[in-house]
Structure 1
Amino acid sequence: MDLNDVGVFMDRDGTVSKEIGYVNHPSRYELLPHTAAAIKKLNNYDIKAILATNQAGVARGYFEEEMITKVHNKLENLLAAEDAYLDEIYYCHHHPDVGEGKFNKDCDCRKPKPGMLLQGVKELGVDLEKSYMIGDKISDVEMAHRVDAQGILVLTGYGRGNYENDRDEWDTEPDYIAEDLLDAVEWILMDLGVTIDND
């Protein structure tokens, strides 16, 4: 089965890494357990592993845009140490209500708008109807559903609280609710009909 056009988009904070609020220094950035193992499974099947994250701390003046690059360099190094990698990293540094200049913008890339998913189509050739978005907020699921992708809610980060306290107010339902990123990836592989290699 050709999985080259399948994209698995992942939120960053609370999904791939610990949710600590705005990450204003690489030393504060830590992966969640099983993150590298989850991404390595995607790599093993040539499924595109793509980060898609809102980073409005730039627009809010909490840190310079360069800090996002530094944090993502650390992320890639942590993954590489476990023989895993991301095919692409997309981030939105805009905010519609705060910030100055180019950062103060009602853009198409801020989740739940699907601009970062559409970038994956343009730059990586993913087929969104075969693709997935994983995140710890229902806005991640909504983003996926806007472009006919599947949306998965993880219970890490804000996910468990979002699920237990706010689900009566959701406008959409996750296609799957996962304990963490690894659980989500294993469900995706089963959904794709892939025999999971647990080595």
Structure 2
Amino acid sequence: MKQAAVFLDRDGVINHDRAYVSQVDDFEFIDGAIEAMQKLKQAGWLLVVVTNQAGIARGYFSEEQFLSLTEWMDWSLADRGVDLDGIYYCPHHSEYGDEHYRQDCSCRKPKPGMLLEAAAELDIDLENSWLVGDKASDILAAKNAGVPNRLLVSGQYDVSEQDKALATATISSLDEAAKFILRD
């Protein structure tokens, strides 16, 4: 039976975006993010991280470094009662990297590949799911995947009024997103 999910971008939604975060020492959860994820999990939502990681293609950090940090993040959340249902990432970039990473792939947001892969693997009901992201590419990936509920976290990145119009609402944080989704 299909289940609805909340798709979460990582940098700027779960943790502070400090340009190509790849080390535990540089990873800082945004205030209220863990508690928001706890509330969503307690309400029965699947939580799926979908994150572009072009720093791998650009050579700023290795895929192994990213996976090590991801494992640390996943365990840190599990220790606080948040079991992520999936973590999907795109290491590619159309202009940077070697032949393995330099490609115009289907997974790099705004393309919907990560969301569609998660939906297939986890039996997700996209029509009743949500995406929380902080860039236009996040919102467009959800639109392109058929996810009608899209929340844009405002703040660090400039987003045009046209891009904001693609979102269900513009909010200030993951905490506010959880309240919006749960109608608290």
TM-score higher than 0.5: yes
Q: Write the mapping of 1:135-146 to structure 2, written as runs, cut at 5 A.
A: 135-146=133-144
The one of 177, 180, 190 aligned to 2:173: 180
The answer to whether the 8 Å contact 2:164/2:170 transfers is no
Q: Flag structure 1 segments of 5+ consecutive residues without an equivalent.
A: 191-195
Q: Distance in 1 between matches of 2:58 and 2:43?
A: 39
Q: Distance in 2 between matches of 1:49 and 1:60?
A: 28
Instruction: State which drifts further: 98-107 or 171-180.
Output: 171-180
- Match of 1:153? 152
Q: Calculate the TM-score normalised by the size of structure 2.
A: 0.92
Q: Write the mapping of 1:47-126 to structure 2, written as runs, cut at 5 A.
A: 47-126=45-124
The answer to whether the 8 Å contact 1:129/1:147 transfers is no
- Evaluate the alpha carbon distance shift between residue 47 and residue 168 of structure 1 in structure 2; reply closer, same or farther with a 3 A threshold: closer
The answer to whether the 8 Å contact 1:34/1:182 transfers is yes
User: Does 2:43 correspond to 1:45?
Assistant: yes
Q: Flag structure 2 segments of 5+ consecutive residues without an equivalent.
A: none
Amino acid aligned to 1:126 = I
- Match of 2:7? 9
The answer to whether the 8 Å contact 2:112/2:141 transfers is yes
Q: Distance in 1 between matches of 2:131 and 2:170?
A: 12
Amino acid aligned to 1:179 = S
The answer to whether the 8 Å contact 2:57/2:91 transfers is yes
- Match of 2:33? 35
Q: Distance in 2 between matches of 1:183 and 1:169?
A: 22
Q: Distance in 2 between matches of 1:120 and 1:62?
A: 26
Q: Distance in 2 between matches of 1:144 and 1:185?
A: 17
The answer to whether the 8 Å contact 2:152/2:164 transfers is no
Q: Distance in 2 between matches of 1:171 and 1:30?
A: 26
* Identity rate, percent: 36
Map Cα deviations across residues 1-53 of structure 1 (whole Å, 9 max, x no partner). Answer: x9x61011000001100010011322111111111111111211221100000
Instruction: State which drifts further: 71-80 or 127-136.
Output: 71-80
| CA RMSD, 1 decimal | 1.7
Q: Write the mapping of 1:153-172 to structure 2, written as runs, cut at 5 A.
A: 153-156=152-155, 158=156, 161-162=157-158, 166-170=159-163, 172=165
Q: Structure 1 residue 106: deviation in Å?
A: 0.6
The one of 132, 139, 145 aligned to 1:134: 132
* Paired residue secondary structure (2:65): helix
Q: Distance in 2 between matches of 1:79 and 1:168?
A: 34
